[in-house]
Structure 1
């Protein structure tokens, strides 16, 4: 259930950022209700939270795989595979974000002054 809430929160934030980009950056920030004044939503905290979530998925995957390998009666192979795929998808998404950030940094550094 929490994953569903997290996904809807991320999707709402992505839609807000998309509207801002289409309207030309600062021009889209006309509704003060859309602007989060809380310091917990800055880029560093969002990035840290996303990395912690990926780590959590990987830990869950490892624990589920260990339970299946140990023959724990309550462990399900299907749940272990799903946990593994969640961890894999989350890691690949994080890797793609990292690649885009590095590319943007290199583009900025190569700009003439």
Structure 2
């Protein structure tokens, strides 16, 4: 007799299967993470080595850093928009969690950039109001 209810045992079995699959996939992720750490460590100088390069390069200007940050925010927004559009069109290679993460990343980076801009405007106003 079908009452339209969900079989709890079947749902629990599916959850356990998914959990075991995730646990099996996790060691592969850990190895990839460790390889990334090893690659970064290999680029760091050994103790006793000089960290100075032969040529002294100028640090980037504030304008360059700000432009880079704005470009990054713009890239995040373009990527999120592209993923969202691909998902809406039914692209099987794009899943909803990926789209949601990209949209949130885009939103957070834009909000952070807006806060930086607001602080810069406040600092500018404060400097302009200073008595000489």
What RMSD in Å do the two structures reach over aligned CA positions?
1.6
2:85: which partner in 1?
66
2:13: which partner in 1?
none
Whole-angstrom distance in 1 between the partners of 2:59 and 2:93 = 38
2:131: which partner in 1?
112
Per the TM alignment, residue 38 of structure 1 is displaced from its structure 2 partner at its CA by 2.8
Whole-angstrom distance in 1 between the partners of 2:109 and 2:57 = 26
- Residue 78 of structure 1 pairs with residue 97 of structure 2: yes
Report the TM-score, using the length of structure 2 for normalisation.
0.56
1:21: which partner in 2?
none
Which structure's residues are more often helix, by fraction?
1
Secondary structure of 2:68's aligned partner? helix
Structure 2 gaps of 5+ residues are 1-32, 34-51
Structure 1 gaps of 5+ residues are 2-32
Point out the more displaced range, 56-65 or 40-49.
40-49
Report the TM-score, using the length of structure 1 for normalisation.
0.66
- Residue 56 of structure 1 pairs with residue 97 of structure 2: no
Q: Deviations over 1:13-65 (max 9, x none)?
A: xxxxxxxxxxxxxxxxxxxx6xxx53461111100100000000000000010
Larger Rg: 2
- Runs of at least 4 residues of structure 1 off by over 2 A? 37-40
1:15: which partner in 2?
none
Equivalent pairs counted in the alignment come to 79
